[in-house]
Amino acid sequence: MSDDQEYFGVEGVPAPLEVSSDPEESLDEIREAALRAGLEEYDLTPEDLAALAGEEPIETERALPTLAVVGRPNVGKSTLVNRIIGKRLAVVEDTPGVTRDRVSYPAEWAGTDFMLMDTGGWEAKVQGLDLSVAQQAEIAIDMADAILFVVDATVGATASDEKVVKLLRRSGKPVVLAANKVDGPQGELEAAALWNLGLGEPYPVSALHGRGTGDLLDAAVAILPTELPEVEIDPDAPRRIALVGRPNVGKSSLLNQLAGERRVVVDETAGTTRDPVDEKVEIAGRSWTLVDTAGIRRRVHMTKGADFYASLRTGAAIERAEVALVLLDASGPLTDQDTRVISQVVEAGRALVLVFNKWDLVGEDERFLLERSIDKDLVQLPWAPRVNLSARTGWHTNRLVPAIDLALGSWDQRISTGRLNSFLGELVAEHPHPVRSGRQPKILFATQASTRPPRFVIFASGFLDPTYRRFIERRLRESFGFEGTPIQISVRVREKRKRR
């Protein structure tokens, strides 16, 4: 049974609405009034009432302070990051230099939310890839609000550690010193020697076993700023587009084609990566900023590592963009790597356009079967615009801008509280939430909390089934479009006021 069929039954159908005799009252107002009926019976906060009145959004995304984890290679930075976030997300190996990029993860300690930034090891007087890693760590120090400096207590302070200390002092950022790999009393004596670095008390920890991480986090959270300055967004700035996809799908070729010149050179050396490159281009008479993630190549003997670094680069580009063009190779089937890239865009809440490159390599007779295969593989993304083109020849690249405009327009779209609740009033009247365990959750009202991406908060008397939420999302798209953008729907339960 489909989700729609489940909710088209007669179970739980509410009583017919009383239509006002006032001919000037619109149908939307009647539906909204029906949804609001009985709200006085529920415990609503002042913020709830403001949202109901269509005033300021109930919630806006707030910036979180950033804590950067820095240190020389192989001191256990990524192990400590995994310990703090409680998940094995950062790649850990005994080989120095596994982490090359700065990568951010949401973290929380003692009620304080913050972003934890893992970085590659910093070393002085390095070249090539090691130099890029060191530069990424320096950028992380500049971007962070506070620093968690990790030193290997079993080795003690090295010359590289001393140079990191000088770098930290020049930055002026508050620093907490973590003496890692301390597993016993002897290690605590070794950690005490790190007072000589002049950064204050060294906190002895074992990132591997979790020893001492609580005290370390207490100190780290204490130096994070409690308020961050608001950053104003220039509405006239060029929109930012990320070109993402697995290796060899034509990202750089498309950038060069759109720019009208060879702006990006792809390095063919195995196992190398490049920082995302921001390029200002004129497309269809308008300025855009393109973020390219080219230059990722597989290591034959280390495939998993290459996939990981590709994921890091893609994630970095997506976070800095407003809309992502996910390039897919039309000459072959979709891969797991393609699916992961698409998932990254959706989870990051960015506008999305699917670009099938190398379409000119598909024969006329094969295109119908390919379209059917794509529909099957991307059944969860009927809302994403698709553009079939050839980055090499420029065929159909003129279709990109309309698709991007459509996706960005949906990403920016806001539905008024009155119109949204009218929509929900009609939806609930026709297809109410089914009864579960003798109870039927009632949708009280809803509001759009934010845009970019559109995020809706539904206030209800009980939790809504995930299938019913997906049903609401489908109907939202049918009624208001939202082509090219993910939609986020959350539910807040409000209980009835207790009778005295």
Going 242 to 243 to 246 to 247, the CA torsion angle's sign is negative
Whether 32 contacts 421, CB under 8 Å = yes
Tens-place pLDDT, residues 272-325: 334 445 678 888 889 998 876 643 333 333 334 444 445 556 776 788 899 999
Residue 213's nearest CA partner among 84, 116, 88 is 84
Neighbours of 352 (CB within 10 A): 27
- Residue 177 CA to residue 146 CA, distance in Å, equals 11
Residue 364 makes CB contacts below 8 A (sequence gap 6+) with none
**Looking at residue 38, what DSSP letter applies?**
T
d(CA 137, CA 151): 15
Q: Confirm if 302 and 98 have CB atoms less than 8 A apart.
A: no
Q: Is the pLDDT of residue 59 over 50?
A: no
Q: Is the pTM of this model over 0.85?
A: no
> Structure tokens of 457?
């908060």
Is residue 30 predicted with pLDDT exceeding 80? no
Bridge partner list, 357: 329
Per-residue pLDDT, 100: 36
Provide the greatest CA pair distance for the chain: 85
What whole-number percentage of the chain has pLDDT above 90? 35
Q: What is the DSSP string of 270-311?
A: TT-----EEEEEEETTEEEEEEE-------TT-HHHHHHHHH
Beta-carbon neighbour count of residue 436 at 10 Å? 14
Pairing mode, strands 286-292 and 202-204: unpaired
pLDDT of 10: 34
Cα 6 from chain centroid (whole Å) = 32
> For the residues 372-380, what does the mean pLDDT come to?
91
Dihedral in degrees, nearest 10, Cα atoms 306, 342, 252, 98: -20
Closest CA to 66 of 105, 122, 92, 110: 105
User: In this model, does residue 398 exceed pLDDT 90?
Assistant: yes
Question: In this predicted model, what pLDDT tens digit does every residue of 71-86 receive, in sequence order?
Answer: 888 888 888 988 898 8
Structure confidence at residue 267 as a pLDDT band (50, 70, 90) = very low
Res 350 pLDDT > 50: yes
Write the CB contacts of 88 (distance below 8 Å, at least 6 apart in sequence): 82
CA dihedral 465, 469, 471, 476 (to 10 degrees): 160
